[in-house]
């Protein structure tokens, strides 16, 4: 038998190792029925797993990514590596973490850039409109494929938070707990407006226009996608974070050049860099489809009210917002919390002081990490039958509005 230290080292090594896998389902004639009424299949989801699924298969946590994310959530280069991993807030020594690239994405999952089996060519704009509900339906098929009867938790921020909420609604028996961060039951008109400007930047790009979106193998609408990403980045930051990060400082110069040729201000240089970098890893059509899915997510329209949307929810909720987030401001989270409370759902709310805007949920933050770690520990203890009733009331049964 291994000594304790050797076992811990072996477990840590395994927890840091990611499995890059794909799952294909919905082969005709059993295509996935989409919310629009159309059908799609076959469908491939690219996903990664971290940690070990225990014998009881009750330690699984599904992580849902935001607009530009992918399945690589942890480890070197992972978009939430500070948050997920061995001995971190979501401890892969304890939990089996799953993250899948969403339906409609461009990082291995079926999307507009995938081959349409009917034509042998990329779908392009023949790809059907998809919704958050469709993304979650595909994830549910993956979870079923992995033999997991019930997820311990689903967690996500921004669009990922919408998916987490949708899990509690569409699969109330499939998830014990939901952690919804910097998200909403429906994106406000300001957010929809920014998304539309980004989409128009892509659609009016000369390359996109030339091929009517079927640009695969012919060119990339780099200018339009770059501008869309620049617009997005502005919404992810805050006034204070931009002032702190850039101010009015110039980029590699001391005086104005009075020219349009180069980025004179540091903030201009940053946005151009982010835009150009994005075109190397993301598909413009996926940006169109995914932002549309975000815009269509509206629980009030779908159910008559947000309160009605949660009437069959059984999961325990942790809802987190950030004070400087103007894309998904705290009042949107409070609206979700109020609707959950009206249905008697066990919900904890934490509004975190931060100057980093919407991006705050992706950055190291002790308050967020402690809240999530404690919440998951509580849920795990409850599952194991070791939960103390007094502790439950103190840590998970109260809603804190701040």
Same domain, 184 and 109: yes
pLDDT in tens, 351-383: 999 999 999 999 999 999 999 999 999 999 998
pLDDT in tens, 19-50: 579 999 999 999 999 999 999 999 999 999 99
Classify burial at 381, counting beta carbons within 10 Å of its beta carbon; exposed 0-12, middle 13-18, buried 19 or more. Answer: middle
Say if 112 falls within a structural domain: yes
Which pLDDT score, from 0 to 100, does residue 19 have?
57
- 398 near 348, Cβ under 8 Å? yes
Residue finishing a domain among 292, 312, 332: 292
Domain with 245 in it: what CATH number?
Answer: 1.10.1740.110
Same domain, 57 and 151: yes
Which pLDDT score, from 0 to 100, does residue 212 have?
97
Phi, psi of 131 (to 5 degrees): -125, 170
Asked if pLDDT for residue 225 goes beyond 60, the answer is yes
Say if 401 falls within a structural domain: no
Which pLDDT score, from 0 to 100, does residue 261 have?
82
Three-state SS across 231-273? Answer: HHHHHHCCHHHHHHHCCCCECCCCCCCCCCCCCCEHHHHHHHH
Domain with 114 in it: what CATH number?
Answer: 3.40.50.1820
Same domain, 205 and 338: no
pLDDT in tens, 290-337: 999 999 999 999 999 999 999 999 999 999 999 999 999 999 999 999
Closest CA to 246 of 278, 217, 269: 269
Same domain, 85 and 180: yes
Same domain, 30 and 171: yes
Residue finishing a domain among 264, 292, 320: 292
- Residue numbers annotated as active site: 158, 325, 358
Say if 400 falls within a structural domain: no
Say if 256 falls within a structural domain: yes
The sign of the CA dihedral 379, 380, 384, 389 is: negative
Say if 226 falls within a structural domain: yes
Domain span including residue 263: 192-292
pLDDT in tens, 53-101: 999 999 999 999 999 999 999 999 999 999 999 999 999 999 999 999 9
Which pLDDT score, from 0 to 100, does residue 259 have?
86
- 169 near 313, Cβ under 8 Å? yes
Same domain, 167 and 64: yes
CA 320 to chain centre: 14
Say if 76 falls within a structural domain: yes
Asked if pLDDT for residue 240 goes beyond 50, the answer is yes
Say if 373 falls within a structural domain: yes
Which pLDDT score, from 0 to 100, does residue 9 have?
44
Classify burial at 3, counting beta carbons within 10 Å of its beta carbon; exposed 0-12, middle 13-18, buried 19 or more. Answer: exposed
Q: How far is CA 43 from CA 24, 25, 81, 181, in A?
A: 5, 5, 28, 28
Phi, psi of 272 (to 5 degrees): -65, -40
How is residue 7 written in tokens? Answer: 């076992």
Same domain, 269 and 316: no
Asked if pLDDT for residue 392 goes beyond 70, the answer is no
Same domain, 126 and 252: no
Residue finishing a domain among 246, 266, 292: 292
* Count of domains for the chain: 2
Same domain, 333 and 269: no
Averaged pLDDT score across all residues of the chain: 92
Give the mean pLDDT of 190-207: 98
Same domain, 34 and 76: yes
Give the mean pLDDT of 195-201: 98
Same domain, 287 and 303: no
Same domain, 13 and 138: yes
pLDDT in tens, 132-175: 999 999 999 999 999 999 999 999 999 999 999 999 999 999 99
Q: Edge-to-edge strand order for the sheet containing 19-25?
A: 19-25, 43-50, 96-100, 60-64, 151-157, 175-181, 316-322, 347-352
Say if 160 falls within a structural domain: yes
């Amino acid at each position: 038998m291994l000594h304790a230290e050797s076992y811990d080292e072996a477990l840590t090594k395994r927890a840091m190792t990611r499995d890059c896998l794909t799952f294909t389902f919905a082969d005709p004639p059993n295509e996935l029925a989409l919310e629009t009424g159309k059908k799609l299949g076959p469908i491939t989801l690219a996903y990664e797993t971290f940690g070990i699924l225990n014998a009881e298969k009750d330690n699984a946590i599904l992580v849902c990514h935001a607009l530009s994310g992918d399945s690589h959530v942890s480890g070197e280069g992972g978009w939430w590596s500070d948050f997920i991993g061995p001995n971190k807030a979501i401890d892969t020594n304890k939990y089996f973490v799953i993250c899948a690239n969403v339906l409609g994405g461009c990082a291995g999952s079926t999307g507009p850039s995938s081959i349409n089996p009917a034509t042998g060519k990329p779908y392009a704009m023949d790809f059907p409109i998809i919704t958050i509900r469709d993304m979650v339906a595909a994830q549910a098929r993956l979870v079923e494929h992995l033999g997991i009867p019930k997820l311990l938790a689903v967690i996500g921020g921004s669009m990922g938070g919408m998916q987490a909420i949708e899990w509690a609604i569409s699969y109330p028996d499939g998830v014990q707990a939901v952690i919804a961060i910097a998200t909403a039951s429906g994106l406000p008109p300001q957010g929809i407006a920014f998304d539309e400007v980004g989409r128009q930047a892509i659609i009016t790009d000369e390359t996109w226009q030339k091929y009517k979106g079927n640009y695969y193998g012919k060119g990339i609408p780099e200018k339009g996608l770059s501008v869309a990403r620049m617009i997005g980045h502005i919404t992810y930051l805050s006034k204070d974070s931009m002032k702190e990060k850039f101010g009015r400082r110039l980029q590699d110069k001391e005086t104005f050049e009075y020219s349009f040729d180069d980025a004179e201000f540091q903030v201009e240089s940053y946005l151009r860099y982010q835009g150009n970098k994005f075109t190397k890893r993301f598909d413009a059509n996926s940006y169109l489809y995914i932002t549309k899915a975000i815009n269509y997510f509206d629980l009030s329209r779908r159910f008559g009210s947000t309160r009605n949307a949660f009437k069959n929810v059984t999961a325990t909720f942790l809802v987190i917002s950030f004070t400087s987030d103007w894309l998904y401001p705290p009042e949107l989270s409070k609206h979700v919390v109020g609707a959950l409370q009206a249905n008697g759902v066990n919900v904890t709310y934490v509004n975190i002081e931060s100057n980093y805007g919407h991006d705050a949920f992706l950055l190291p933050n002790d308050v967020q990490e402690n809240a999530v770690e404690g919440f998951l520990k509580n849920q795990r203890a409850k599952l194991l039958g070791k939960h103390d009733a007094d502790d439950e009331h103190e840590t998970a049964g109260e809603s804190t509005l701040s």
